[in-house]
Amino acid sequence: MAHFIPCHTTHDATQIAALYFREVVRLHGIPSSMVSDRDTKFLSHFWLTLWRKMGTQLKFSTSSHPQADGQTEVTNGTLGTLLRALIKKNVKQWEDLMPHAEFAYNRTPHKTTGHSLFEVVYGLNPATPLDLRVLDTTQKFNSNAADHATQIKSLHEQVTHRITKMSDTVKARVDKHCRDTKFSPGDLVWIHLPKERFPTKRRSKLQPCSDGPFKILEQVNANAYKVDLPGSFGVSATFYVSDLQQYYDRDESLPSLRANFLQAGEDVKYEHVISMHNTMQHVNTVTWINRVVILYDGLSIT
């Protein structure tokens, strides 16, 4: 279930913790784990000590990595859409409209589960103003607690199955475009500089979109590495693997992509030229390619 809580950017870790206990813990209890970004508030000694004492496992996501906490990213986008639809021209009333946005979000069925968050947590949807009507008092209502518990359990199993199925589908779709890249401590890499994470480094479109080389310090998990990043960058030194690229020294020769490519210093004699004609291959409106076919001793190159 989602809770939208207004707060100030000037709040420190102590104030954020008090707000969390007042708005979330009193409704759902102490969480077993918590996913957050790497803001200084969540990396402070007070915040880490507090939740360590509570027995809560803290998990920190990586910037620009929706696989770690994509649900929160989608929820933030949906909240922005809801507020724009509710606020319109009254921009200063956004704080008063947050409860309405929260109710609408939790009451709406989700595409993945097919149920609203109220149904998943409580087993039923709360009444809306459209549902309020005078009840017929001539009939008595009775519900069997055992049947109700079975219905809720069946609903949770159905939701879990749908979430797992949707996650597997999305994972299979994303894995088609992922590259399996591994780095070791001490390797030199280039880092990608996305504009939303490095606004001072990407003020102009003509500024470089990458920087380096930087040394790999350690592997955080299977998809993230910690880089020896200077403090002047002002961001977390943990990067997702897609934002890292192997650094090659200019003096080193790059590996060839051709399997039968000749090594340096290797002497190959050709027997004769099969054909050498002026066949022009049209590539686009301004480029033409002239093809020459040559037969070497044990090697054919086109």
The CATH number that applies at residue 40 is 3.30.420.10
Q: Are 189 and 246 in contact (CB under 8 A)?
A: yes
Which pLDDT value is given to residue 21?
Answer: 92
Instruction: For residues 13 and 95, state if they share a domain.
Output: yes
217's CB contacts (< 8 A; 6+ apart) are 185, 225, 226, 227, 228, 237
How many CB atoms within 10 Å of residue 68?
19
Domain-embedded: residue 263: no
Question: The domain containing residue 163 runs over which residues?
Answer: 112-128+145-178
Domain-embedded: residue 262: no
Residue 290 has pLDDT above 80, yes or no: no
Instruction: For residues 27 and 58, state if they share a domain.
Output: yes
Domain-embedded: residue 136: no
Domain count, the chain: 4
Distance between CA 212 and CA 271 in Å, rounded? Answer: 47
Domain-embedded: residue 165: yes
More confident site: 298 or 131: 131
- pLDDT tens profile 200-230: 888 887 888 888 889 999 998 888 899 998 8
Domain-embedded: residue 15: yes
Q: Residue 58 belongs to what H/E stretch?
A: strand 57-60
Q: Look at residue 158 and give its three-state secondary structure.
A: helix
Instruction: For residues 117 and 103, state if they share a domain.
Output: no
The sign one gets for the Cα dihedral 126, 3, 51, 237 is positive
- pLDDT tens profile 137-174: 555 555 566 677 777 777 677 777 777 788 788 878 87
Rg of the chain (C-alpha set): 29
The sign one gets for the Cα dihedral 171, 177, 183, 189 is negative
Q: Look at residue 225 and give its three-state secondary structure.
A: strand
Domain-embedded: residue 257: no
Q: Are 248 and 266 in contact (CB under 8 A)?
A: no
Residue 107 has pLDDT above 80, yes or no: yes
Distance between CA 191 and CA 240 in Å, rounded? Answer: 10
Residue 86 has pLDDT above 60, yes or no: yes
Q: Are 27 and 60 in contact (CB under 8 A)?
A: no
How many CB atoms within 10 Å of residue 227?
23
Domain-embedded: residue 138: no
pTM score, whole prediction: 0.51
| Residue 279 token pair | 């066949």
Instruction: For residues 75 and 171, state if they share a domain.
Output: no
Instruction: For residues 196 and 169, state if they share a domain.
Output: no
The dihedrals phi and psi of 147, each to the nearest 5 degrees, come to -65, -35
Report angle CA 246, 188, 251 to the nearest 5 degrees: 80
